[in-house]
Amino acid sequence: MAQIPNLDNAPLNLTSLREQSQKELLNILKNIRGKKCLVIDPKLGSSLSSIIQTSLLKLNLMKFICSNVHDDVSKGLQREYFVYFVPRRTVVCEKILEEENVYNLMTIGEYPLYIVPLDEDVLSFELDLAYKESQVDGDTSSLWHIAKAIHKLEFSFGVIPNVRAKGKASVRVADILNRMQAEEPVNSPDMVVPEINTLILLDREVDMVTPMLSQLTYEGLIDECLHVNNGSVELDASIMGLQQEGKKIKVPLNSSDKLFKEIRDLNFEVVVQILRQKATSMKQDYTEVTTTTQSVSELKDFVKKLNSLPEMTRHINLAQHLSTFTSKPAFLGQLDMEHTIVEAQSYDICFEYIEELIHKQEPLVNVLRLLILFSITSSGLPKKQFDYLRRELLHSYGFEHMATLNNLEKAGLLRKQESKSNWLTIKRALQLVVEDTDTANPNDIAYVFSGYAPLSIRLVQHAVRSGWRPIEEILKLLPGPHSETKRGRFSSSLSFDTLQASANIDKVADGRRSLVLVVFIGGITFAEISALRFLSAQEGMAYDLIVGTTKIVSGHSLAETFVERLG
Amino acid sequence: MANVSVAAEWQLLGDRYYRKPELYHPMQWRHIDLSRNKVACAPFGGPVALIRDDSKIVQLYSESALRKLRLFNSAGVSLSDVVWKNTGGRLIGLSWSDDHTLVCIVQDGTVYRYNVHAELIEPNLSILGHYFDENVVECVFWGNGVVCVTDTCKVFAVPDFKTRTVVRLADPPPPPPGELELELELPHCVAVIEPQYTLSGNVEVLLAIRDGVVMVEEDEVQALPVPPGDGPLQKMVVSGNGRFVAAFTHDGRLAVYSTRFEKMFEYQCESALPPEQLAWCGLDSVLLYWDDMLLMVGPSDEPVRYLYDEPIVLVPECDGVRILTNTSMEFLQLVPNSTVSIFKIGSTSPAALLYDALDHFDRRSAKADENLRLIRSSLPEAVEACVDAAGHEFDVSRQRTLLRAASYGQAFCSNFQRDRIQEMCKTLRVLNAVRNPEIGIPLSIQQYKLLTPSVLIGRLINAHRHLLALRISEYLGMNQEVVIMHWACSKITASLAIPDAALLEILLDKLRLCKGISYAAVSAHADKNGRRKLAAMLIEHEPRSSKQVPLLLSIGEEDTALMKATESGDTDLVYLVLFHIWQKKQPLEFFGMIQARMLARDLFITYARCYKHEFLKDFFLSNGQLQEVAFLLWKESWAKGKNPMASRGSPLHGPRIKLIEKAHSLFSETKEHTFESKAAEEHAKLIRMQHELEVTTKQAIFVDSSISDTIRTCIVLGNHRAAMKVKTEFKVSEKRWYWLKVFALATIRDWDALEKFSKEKRPPIGYRPFVEACIEADEKGEALKYIPKLADPRERAEFSGLMITHVKLIIAFIFLCLLAFLCSDWNGQGSC
């Protein structure tokens, strides 16, 4: 199966996007004559595998480059150095190269890779540190990059007429995007309807609850347990039923795999059932083939079914491996606790549970996830308990984690209580907790967390369905400002509440639905993507939804970015 | 008939007609005698430069003895003049380069360059460099370059005046030894083959030396085999396409060679005296000029003679030759085929008939229709010929008649490209506009196409004809940005007297005409002209921050630059400003500037955290953020811990602990950081304790582990007293203590000690830790000791069932195992 996702069925012409990136890379390589030794930022390497795919070259990397060059120079080696910055060269990196006296030794170029299509409906800007950088360091470089990426999309697909943003970073991105349009306008011919109708920008900060919860969709669970990296997981070969001891294999996970496409967004419980049904029906067919005489065409059908066998085997193996995680009492205990915290009714139980985790020196990131969840839903901890837990953390995991605590506090994820929590109001108003969720035949996005509807996706749901005006009071309770703007030639005509009505007019002539691009600044989880796909597939939905994100995250990877050792 | 009069002006050379329409008559200048002057005319109807020839003895009338360099357009309208005061000896040659720079070379090899406004373009260039005792005796120009020959027969070339590099070419061969007495043997004549026509891409110089010709290149000399009897050659000139050489031989013959000197053709002239001027007319004939006679020689035998009673200058063009005299400017060219077909006496071509038909039509004669019927089938080509002929016409009324004929014919043919006539009208309007004597650029249509409209516009703005340039570019649908930009810059240069605000208004008025124009570029120009305030006002209007910010920095508006960069959201720009200010200002001033600007401050901190620790500390100290300094110190302490060199000496008083203690005291300066302060204090204490433990246990496993880990390690090592000491020292809660000790004991599988510990007193967190620890160590028997003691009956049941809780998942798990087995079975069979 192809490692690179097949984009032919994408609602936007993403193939052209990918092809352009490929061409640009090849041009760079062609332009350098002679034998090359290609050194790629490891983060970039995995990204390149899916464009062949990015990340901002970071400051420390510059030091690394310099030390390598110095090393060569001291050995008297003469080489030509070409440094290509992805997606663009920056003053600060060049400054470092200059200060290290290697600037003159190298040819500097850039590879303008701003967007990587991860799947038919998922675009990634590959800015994995975006959330931490903007929340903790105040470095908003990523926002400019996001705006630039969206602006690039606009060059291909027309100016996006409606923009909704919630959260500080999102509003800023919308603002930068408007500036870019003013500085470097996209000239869209007047009569063509832009392919993307609405842009919804959401800060991860607006909803930090959802990513901290354990994802229960198939794809989400794989990420929680095995860490999906750029559309594939690495596993021991033995798990996949291969006889190679100790060898790792890469299992690609994208929509080119038909079975995966069918089950990736379902709740894991349901996935197990489906796999069982499929296996049973195949077994039945098998016994029929072996015991009764059958016509050639029936045999043909059977052989056709056999073609899907490798895919089935793969997912059965995977699912089996996952159940070894999900059946652990610790996992179940954690699920229980997550739901208790979200319910926000029994403060003491939660507090003691977390305290115990710390005492038992459970992995730090797991503790932090629950702690963040706890702090957010109760809008901080009372000073005494705040200091107590922090002290216990330092005692258990070492004083070097002072920096981690500091980061979390700066980002507002773990803090002292200053006001009463309004989580209960939000939860009730947006119906975040849904009782009696039927995970097999879901009628609400809550199925992805077995009873909790992700807050972020509820906001998208409202935005698409009726605009944000009806829930304005609730929006005000969430962090950051929100804004709604009309752009381009639509700026003067329609008002926002008529979006629904105008959707019919906006329908692209060939029967495709018009598009809503939902951009998560700070990352999105697989479970949320699944919920969006669920929304998109609902009857009466006027739009196709596609997702843009700085990076695909999980509670684990998100919490991990904040972990910093003073050392 | 009109047709006759047209053709009557033509001359036949071989089987081709030539004509010589007057472009300008009379010239706008007064009292100019070309013979008294050195003259340089730029091709493509460019300007004319005149300067009194200092190699001739001339009579001065009522004029200054100082020479004046005077520039005119092709119609003789004065553009500018300047008194020639340049040093370096006699003026050897002058010529216009492609970008209309007048290049003047004097004897000592200095090159002076002037623009069309007669302003000297600094710096001057010296061709001879350190060969200061030599003189230039001859120079030959082409496009943007020149070749000079010195009095010692060295050859120098400047391939491109823009790059201004001088190349010394190879020396021509010395005279044979027997003729040493002819010490100074200069070439009879020199010609160049332009780089664009040579194989090597470098200029090739042809020198007629003695009886032969040598070709000189950068590092190669090659003798070319001139047919015997032809040499020595008196004059040479290379054709416009660089493939032929026309030369005048010593015995009065005109010969045409290929550039390898294979003879193509020759003509015996009446005079053996070499002509004053020799020039190619297009590619079909060669012009020779003696005192009062101009001889045009073509491939056929009989040449054409023109008589002139005044001096002339031949200006070769791509499609003919312009002839400049004291009183007129003429254009000698081959009559275009379309024109011939219409106006040739007795022509019955369809085009001629169409032209005639129009004439009848105008006179309301029915013969018009008759003519049309005759040519019905070939009407399109007749129309095409009329359009084409109109294009080649210099006379406006004749252009009009021809176009009318074309449009008359077009009415009767359906399949003629309609916009052809329209296109031609457009082109002719442009040509007529620039041919106007006031502008004085007499381009033929062929030259115009070769020159391209954008170059023409470039020349117009260069001559400060902005309005016309703007109109033309508007008319042709071209981008007007170039014109407006140039206008704005020229305006700024020229308007020293206008106050900033007024000038800004004037500029903005025009700049608004063009969307997306770079205000930054105009602003940069204003700054270069010393109008900083105006520059600042202009840059305000630049919408692209990436252009705006660097410029603001260059005009010293750092504060505004920082603001704009921050607004743009482009952190790269903010960094740009940041580094700029950092470099320029005193640290304290720099700190002050970024302190109030959040983004700039945060970016600075991010950068400095990686690369400028000490400077960052200064920054935090300057604004009283002591806790941040404390964090930095704390961080450094870890770096010290990793570096073995730094931890020499007594660890107890080592630099590490000192740093942490310093951090502790800084934290305690402010009330808000009591937590951090305490933590630092404890940390220092912990490290001391760990050092002691390492000394007593002689194992280097304590330093840099956490308090909990330290306790665990102590218990695992069996050092319960030390563990207890750590516990009390850091006030470890009973709860944590129990978890740690239970797990530590389970790790070393000391089940007796564990049991003893459970009986010490009633554990503060119940017996669950004991059960969990045993189960984790896979000692179910041990676990059973504690399960009954659990307080919560649910927990009891849970552990009794040995962890099986989620029945659904377990069933699924078992099922999947079976299934996997099944599938592998199938795979096995499938491969059979």
B29 at A interface, C-beta within 8 A? no
**Interchain pair A144, B707: CB under 8 A:** no
**Whether residue B817 has pLDDT greater than 60:** no
Shortest Cα distance, chain A CAs vs residue B493, angstroms: 28
Residue B831's pLDDT band (cuts 50, 70, 90): very low
A46 at B interface, C-beta within 8 A? no
HEC string of B687-698 equals HHHHHHHHHHHC
Q: Which two tokens stand for residue A69?
A: 């060059």
Q: What is the DSSP string of B131-164?
A: -TT--EEEEEEETTEEEEEETT--EEEES-TTTT
Phi, psi of B27 (to 5 degrees): -70, 155
Strand order in the sheet with B212-216: B189-193, B204-209, B212-216, B221-224
Sign of the C-alpha dihedral computed for residues B27, B29, B33 and B34 taken in this order:
negative
Q: Which residue of B has its CA nearest to A60?
A: B610
Residues B19 and B11: beta-carbon distance below 8 Å: yes
DSSP A136: I
Quote the CA–CA distance of B539 and B517 in Å, as a whole number: 12
Q: Reduced to 3 DSSP states, what percent helix, strand and coil does chain B have, rounded to the nearest 5?
A: 45, 20, 35
Interface test with A, best of B598, B708, B822 (most A CBs within 10 A): B708
Helix pair angle (B396-410, B350-362), 10° resolution: 100
**Parallel, antiparallel, or unpaired: how do β-strands B11-13 and A162-166 relate?**
unpaired
Q: Within the 157-176 window of chain A, which residues sit less than 8 Å (CB to CB) from chain B?
A: 172, 175-176
Quote the CA–CA distance of B548 and A349 in Å, as a whole number: 58
**Interchain pair B576, A356: CB under 8 A:** no
- Closest by CA position to A133, among listed A565, A499, A558: A558
Quote the CA–CA distance of B521 and B551 in Å, as a whole number: 9
**Interchain pair B683, A309: CB under 8 A:** no
Instruction: Count CB atoms within 10 A of the CB of residue A231.
Output: 24
| Exposure b/e, B3-27, CB count within 10 A at least 16 = b | beebbeebeebeebbbbbbebbeeb
Cβ neighbours of residue B786 closer than 8 Å, sequence gap 6 or more: B758, B767, B770, B771, B774
DSSP A488: G
Instruction: Count CB atoms within 10 A of the CB of residue B802.
Output: 10
Quote the CA–CA distance of B373 and B213 in Å, as a whole number: 61
A411 at B interface, C-beta within 8 A? no
Interface test with B, best of A360, A389, A418, A564 (most B CBs within 10 A): A360
Quote the CA–CA distance of B235 and B551 in Å, as a whole number: 55
HEC string of A180-198 equals HHHHCCCCCCCCCCCCEEE
Domain ranges across chain B: 338-543, 792-832
How confident is the model at residue B51, as a pLDDT?
93
**Parallel, antiparallel, or unpaired: how do β-strands B155-158 and B145-150 relate?**
antiparallel
Cβ neighbours of residue A326 closer than 8 Å, sequence gap 6 or more: A221, A268, A332, B806, B809
| Exposure b/e, B135-170, CB count within 10 A at least 16 = b | bbbbbbbbbbbbbbbbeebbbbbbbebeeeebbebb
Residues B71 and B81: beta-carbon distance below 8 Å: yes
Q: What mean pLDDT comes out for the span B400-413?
A: 90
HEC string of B86-124 equals CCCCCEEEEEECCCCCEEEEECCCEEEEECCCCCECCCC
Give how far Cα B615 sits from Cα of A66, B396, B558, B586, B619, Å.
Answer: 22, 76, 21, 12, 6
B634 at A interface, C-beta within 8 A? yes
Element (H, E) at B802: none
Give how far Cα A209 sits from Cα of A369, A448, A527, B87, B554, Å.
Answer: 9, 14, 13, 84, 48
**Parallel, antiparallel, or unpaired: how do β-strands A162-166 and A122-124 relate?**
unpaired
Shortest Cα distance, chain A CAs vs residue B18, angstroms: 52
Q: What is the DSSP string of A330-362?
A: HHHHHHHHHHHHHHT--HHHHHHHHHHHHHTT-
Half-sphere CA count of A362, side-chain side, radius 13 A: 16
Quote the CA–CA distance of B190 and B211 in Å, as a whole number: 14
pLDDT in tens, B305-354: 999 989 999 999 999 999 999 999 999 999 999 999 999 888 889 999 99
* A409 chain-B contacts, CB cut-off 8 A: none
Residue B80's pLDDT band (cuts 50, 70, 90): very high
User: Which residue in A172, A320, A403 is closest to B817 by CB distance?
Assistant: A320
Element (H, E) at A155: helix A141-157
Phi, psi of B383 (to 5 degrees): -60, -45
HEC string of A387-417 equals HHHHHHHHHHHCHHHHHHHHHHHHCCCCCEC
Out of A406-410, B363-367, B461-465, B604-608, pick the least confident: B604-608
User: Which residue in A60, A276, A332 is closest to B805 by CB distance?
Assistant: A332
**Interchain pair B740, A327: CB under 8 A:** no
Quote the CA–CA distance of B163 and B167 in Å, as a whole number: 12
* B602 chain-A contacts, CB cut-off 8 A: 137-139
Interface test with A, best of B564, B570, B710 (most A CBs within 10 A): B570
* B827 chain-A contacts, CB cut-off 8 A: 309, 313
* B737 chain-A contacts, CB cut-off 8 A: none
Size of interface A-B (CB pairs under 8 A): 185
Residues B146 and B140: beta-carbon distance below 8 Å: yes
State the greatest distance between any 2 C-alpha atoms of chain B, in Å, as a whole number: 138
**Whether residue B719 has pLDDT greater than 60:** yes
- Closest by CA position to B198, among listed B180, B210, B216: B216
User: Which residue in B611, B634, B824 is closest to A566 by CB distance?
Assistant: B634
Phi, psi of B253 (to 5 degrees): -110, 145
Quote the CA–CA distance of A378 and A422 in Å, as a whole number: 8
Q: Which two tokens stand for residue B14?
A: 């071989």
Residues A117 and A22: beta-carbon distance below 8 Å: no
User: CB-based burial of residue B649 (10 Å sphere; 0-12 exposed, 13-18 middle, 19+ buried)?
Assistant: exposed
Shortest Cα distance, chain A CAs vs residue B607, angstroms: 8
Quote the CA–CA distance of B520 and B542 in Å, as a whole number: 6
* pLDDT in single tens digits along all 567 residues of chain A: 345 666 666 666 777 777 777 777 777 766 655 555 555 555 554 444 433 333 333 445 666 666 777 777 677 666 667 777 777 777 777 787 787 777 777 777 777 778 888 888 888 888 878 888 888 888 888 899 899 999 988 888 888 888 999 999 999 999 999 988 888 887 765 556 788 889 999 999 999 999 999 998 999 999 988 888 877 888 888 777 776 667 788 888 887 788 888 888 988 888 888 888 888 888 888 787 777 777 777 777 777 777 777 888 888 888 888 888 888 878 888 888 999 998 888 888 899 999 999 998 999 999 999 999 999 999 889 999 999 999 999 999 998 898 899 999 988 899 898 888 889 999 988 889 888 777 788 888 988 888 899 999 999 999 888 888 888 888 998 988 989 888 865 544 444 444 444 444 444 445 567 889 999 999 999 999 999 999 988 877 888 899 999 988 999 989 988 888 665
User: Which residue in A279, A329, A395 is closest to B708 by CB distance?
Assistant: A395
Residues A424 and A432: beta-carbon distance below 8 Å: no
A137 at B interface, C-beta within 8 A? yes
B743 at A interface, C-beta within 8 A? yes
Quote the CA–CA distance of B91 and A135 in Å, as a whole number: 72
Quote the CA–CA distance of B296 and B280 in Å, as a whole number: 9
How confident is the model at residue A212, as a pLDDT?
93
Which residues, in sequence order, are bridge partners of residue B288? B278, B295
Q: Which two tokens stand for residue B527?
A: 């700054």
For residue B26, whether the previous peptide bond is cis, meaning omega lies within 30 degrees of 0, is yes
Quote the CA–CA distance of B142 and B140 in Å, as a whole number: 7
Quote the CA–CA distance of B55 and B36 in Å, as a whole number: 10
Percent of chain B surpassing pLDDT 70: 93
Instruction: Count CB atoms within 10 A of the CB of residue A62.
Output: 23
Quote the CA–CA distance of B190 and B208 in Å, as a whole number: 6
Quote the CA–CA distance of B334 and B298 in Å, as a whole number: 11
Sign of the C-alpha dihedral computed for residues B764, B770, B771 and B773 taken in this order:
positive
pLDDT in tens, B288-301: 999 889 999 988 77
- Closest by CA position to A434, among listed A400, A417, A457: A457
**Parallel, antiparallel, or unpaired: how do β-strands A196-203 and A514-521 relate?**
parallel
Quote the CA–CA distance of A372 and A360 in Å, as a whole number: 18
Phi, psi of B143 (to 5 degrees): 10, -95
